[in-house]
Amino acid sequence: MANTPLIFFDPFPRTDAMVFTPDVQAACAELGRVVSHFGSRAPDDLVESLLPDVDIIVGQTAMPAERFDRAPNLKAILNVKANWEPNIDYGEAHRRGIHVLSAAPAMAPAVAEYCLGQAIALARGFAASDRLFRSGHERYGIAGNGTAYSLFGADVGFIGFGNLGRALLPLLQPFGCRVLAHDPLLSDRYLDLQGVQPTSLDGVLSKARFLFILAGVTSENEGFLDRKKLEMIAEDASVVLGSRAEVVDFDAFLNLAGSGRFRAAVDVFPEEPVPQDAAFRQIPDVQFTAHLAGGMNASYARIRDMMMDDMRQILKGHPPLRMQKAEPRQAAMARSR
């Protein structure tokens, strides 16, 4: 038993239905011994009892530097969420050759699909058309399309070009769009090779007819889209806030959208669940969804597939192939929940 790998599942807030389905349980049992804890973060006494033997942690168990000393066999931490939390010493993990991975790429296809659908709905005014029809005030054909515009041939802006941007780009290709992208973490040459036009933040905001806010939040960019920047968004543009609410001045964003300055779809919020009495629930003509973009059964199936694939790789002594690897400095700066 001494050489049997120990796999510890501590994936809160993920549930067993998301990441520990019967097929995963059976596959893990073939790889080694499994200990699991669901419903909350694992208590410290359980974590400490497992550290001497654990090979793989699935979840984001707190791992400050001193805990690595007590985990001599640890090979990887597989975070089955789509973010980096500040409870891991990423630099120490990197120094010791411990893989720290995120399931973020598994969520990207569903979020990209959401962004495309919301952008078209905003530009074509589908929500407003539905309300007019239900009240008996619909207008047919061109008469009902006075404020509608098309994605075909439009200028599209990406703020952030990580997993979400890379997943959304191919969905836009049939529309013949010019895609402008701003991401200060990526070189202009890299963006150019991906088929997007590197552009300043001000340029993306002012030129895009369709704007996708896809940036993750870090200690360096929290709130960087303040009111002054948001006021640069092109008049009547369609804007999809699909990554993290913390990158924008949320009140200013909703104020401008609610006043008709631009059209907006919002899936993420500074506080979730959103309080029932939140005043912005009543803002007209903003398309709200309750953080639905990525959290689909198909996304969790991809997480499980990626997780098991990389787990097998790691236990064979090979590098992981599919989950996103933590870059220590950037992961340590992350501020998403």
User: Are 320 and 264 in the same domain?
Assistant: no
Q: Residue range 10-14: average pLDDT? A: 96
What does the pLDDT look like over 52-91, one tens digit per residue?
999 999 999 999 999 999 999 999 999 999 889 899 999 9
**pTM recorded for the entire structure:** 0.94
| Distance between CA atoms of residues 228 and 226, nearest Å | 5
Residues 175 and 311 in one domain: no
Maximum separation of any 2 CA atoms in the chain, in Å: 75
Helices (runs of H) and strands (runs of E) counted in the chain: 14, 13
* Torsion region of 316: left, alpha or beta (phi above 0 gives left; psi -120 to 50 gives alpha): alpha
164 and 205 assigned to the same domain? yes
pLDDT of residue 219: 77
For the stretch 106-159, pLDDT in tens is 999 999 999 999 999 999 999 999 999 999 999 999 999 999 999 999 999 999
Do 135 and 282 sit in the same domain of this protein? yes
In a domain, 264, yes or no: yes
Q: What percent of the chain has pLDDT over 70?
A: 99
The verdict on 279 and 313 lying in the same domain is no
323 and 284 fall within a common domain: no
What is the number of structural domains in the chain? Answer: 2
3-class SS shares of the chain: helix, strand, coil, % to 5: 40, 15, 40
Strand segments, DSSP code E, in 253-303 are: 263-266, 286-288
Residue 217 confidence class, pLDDT cut points 50, 70, 90: confident
Q: Is 337's pLDDT higher than 70?
A: no
Residue range(s) defining the domain that contains residue 328 = 6-105+297-333
Residue 211: inside a domain: yes
Q: What pLDDT score was predicted for residue 276?
A: 97
Task: Round the CA-based radius of gyration of the chain to a whole number and report it.
Answer: 22
Q: Express each pLDDT in 165-177 by its tens digit.
A: 999 999 999 999 9
